[in-house]
Amino acid sequence: DNGGGSGSAYMYQFENNSLTKTAALLPSDGQRGDVFGHSVAIFGNHIIVGADGNDEGFMDDSGSAYFFSHSAANDLGRIVYLR
């Protein structure tokens, strides 16, 4: 957690009629009020997580998107940060 309203997103696996949390996604530069996780898109092994409250320089709430890729080895890494 990076402060109130910073946000987070979680990955779950559904198996044998049960959900198990497999990963927590947090931005490396997250701050209070970023609202990371406000929007999420998933395509195959790729995940894009939006933070519509992220501030960039003097631009308040300009927003950003974080692109993650999930490998077969269960590694989850951020590939790119879009401002």
Q: Which residue has the tokens 């701050």?
A: 31
With CA atoms as reference, report the closest residue to 7 among 65, 80, 83.
Answer: 65
* pLDDT at residue 75, as a whole number: 58
> pLDDT tens digits, the chain, 83 residues: what are they?
677 888 888 888 888 999 999 888 888 788 778 888 889 999 988 889 988 877 676 667 678 888 888 765 555 655 555 55
pLDDT of res. 35: 84
Which pLDDT belongs to residue 19? 92
pLDDT of 39 reads 92
Q: What confidence score (pLDDT) does residue 82 get?
A: 58
Q: Quick one: tokens of 61?
A: 């709430």
Give the Cα separation of 68 and 70 in Å (integer). Answer: 7
